[in-house]
């Protein structure tokens, strides 16, 4: 049997000085943590849990078996790794603070826009421009609905949807990610001016996907989804959803690197809402700090998801702004770097206020008088 180890931040700190320096900066961002847990799992069950602080980390790791101690050191380094910015065309996307990715769906059956951006490209361009003006760091263009029960799309149709949107976004100087799981669509969009790939299948759906990403040298988002075929929501069964998703993302990260994708270009996404129950989604959102132990920037897309309706009297998608903002702020508190959202202006405003609070927390009002 093989034991697995997970390093989980469990105690946030307002600032380093609030803990007299005994804290770490998660992923080089604006969130600090003071208390951590080293969790050991065997055959799907947690068998040990060791709490520690940065000052006691070395002693805690020394008490672990050699293989786990080595893994603990690896994850401890990953937790504190500051990620370099992405250069997406003429735009620099810093990863030392939360950034907002605005969603542009060019599908006939989008839950949020009813297909109007597909039928009226002038409206799509205006919407993309408004999101950039409101502070979106990048525009995420999708030509296939991935909601439960949605029909698969032929790649030719998907290309016809996303390439015009990519071109008008490129003309306005936007940073662009292409939300697709098909290599031909990735290639067409990247040729048309996209800068990044967001693959909800984590490069599993199309064998050429990793080859395309590696050849273009572009950043890629690897998202967790349990389904291995057309239905990404299938087979959502977990021993422990948090640890299972963590292990799965680690495997997909390593597979992408083995296929030639540069590690510093990989972003990971736990896949909120994909093959997961309400309790699964809540568990993942509460455990987001754990995923920094994988050593990659994180993206979270929880905007207008069904879980918000489930927690608010089945509110319709267009009535989920409050819940979307609550989840976005929760992700920021966890140190997540990229927030994929529908409501850009409101999320950017929430991010700016959050940033002000984080900056103010660094004021040394904890200091003792001289």
β-pair partners for 8: 37
CA gap 215, 13 in Å, rounded: 41
Phi-psi region of 360 (alpha: psi -120 to 50; beta: other; left: phi over 0): alpha
CA gap 81, 77 in Å, rounded: 6
In 3D, which of 223, 199, 225 has the Cα closest to residue 210? 199
CA gap 50, 61 in Å, rounded: 9
- Please list, in sequence order, all residues whose beta carbon lies within 8 angstroms of the beta carbon of residue 114, skipping any fewer than 6 positions away: none
Residue 41 known to be catalytic: no
Which residue carries 């819940």 as its tokens?
323
β-pair partners for 5: 40
In 3D, which of 118, 122, 104 has the Cα closest to residue 176? 104
Which residue carries 């542009």 as its tokens?
104
DSSP string of 323-363?
HHHHHHHHHHHTT--EEEES-HHHHHHHHHHHHHHHHHHTS
Which residue carries 């803990």 as its tokens?
19
- Please list, in sequence order, all residues whose beta carbon lies within 8 angstroms of the beta carbon of residue 286, skipping any fewer than 6 positions away: none
Which of 182, 252, 304, 305 is catalytic? The answer is 305
Phi-psi region of 174 (alpha: psi -120 to 50; beta: other; left: phi over 0): beta
Residue 340 known to be catalytic: yes
Which of 181, 340, 351, 358 is catalytic? The answer is 340
The residues carrying an active-site annotation are 305, 340
């Amino acid at each position: 049997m093989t034991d697995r180890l997970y390093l989980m931040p469990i105690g946030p700190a307002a600032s380093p000085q609030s803990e007299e320096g005994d804290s770490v900066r998660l992923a080089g961002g604006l969130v600090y943590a003071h208390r951590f847990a080293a969790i050991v799992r065997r055959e799907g069950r947690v068998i040990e849990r060791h709490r520690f602080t940065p000052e006691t980390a070395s002693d805690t790791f020394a008490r672990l078996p050699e293989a786990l101690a080595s893994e603990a050191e690896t994850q401890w380094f990953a937790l504190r790794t500051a990620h370099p910015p992405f250069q997406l065309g003429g735009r620099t996307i810093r990863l030392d603070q939360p950034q907002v990715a605005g969603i542009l769906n060019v599908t006939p059956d989008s839950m949020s826009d009813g297909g109007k951006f597909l039928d009226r490209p002038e409206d799509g361009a205006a919407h993309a421009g408004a999101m950039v003006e409101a502070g979106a760091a990048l525009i995420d263009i999708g030509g296939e609905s991935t909601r439960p029960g949605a029909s698969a799309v032929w790649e030719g149709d998907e290309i016809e949807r996303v390439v015009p949107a990519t071109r008008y976004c490129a003309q306005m100087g936007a940073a662009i990610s292409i939300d697709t799981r098909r290599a031909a669509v990735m290639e067409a969009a990247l040729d048309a001016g996209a800068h990044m790939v967001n693959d909800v299948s984590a490069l599993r759906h199309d064998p050429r996907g990793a080859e395309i990403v590696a050849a273009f040298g572009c950043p890629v988002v690897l998202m967790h989804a349990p389904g291995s075929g057309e239905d990404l929501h299938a087979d959502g069964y977990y021993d422990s959803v948090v640890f299972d998703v963590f292990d799965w993302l680690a495997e997909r990260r390593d597979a992408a690197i083995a296929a030639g994708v540069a590690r510093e270009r990989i972003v990971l996404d736990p896949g909120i809402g994909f093959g997961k129950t309400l309790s699964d989604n809540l568990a993942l959102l509460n455990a987001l700090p754990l995923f920094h132990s994988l050593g990659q920037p994180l993206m979270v897309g929880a905007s207008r998801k069904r879980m918000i309706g489930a927690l608010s009297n089945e509110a319709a998608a267009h009535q989920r702004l409050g819940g979307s903002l609550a989840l976005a702020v929760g992700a920021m508190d966890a140190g997540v770097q990229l927030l994929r959202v529908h409501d850009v202006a409101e999320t950017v405003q929430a991010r700016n206020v959050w940033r002000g609070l984080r900056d103010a927390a660094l004021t040394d009002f904890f200091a003792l008088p001289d």
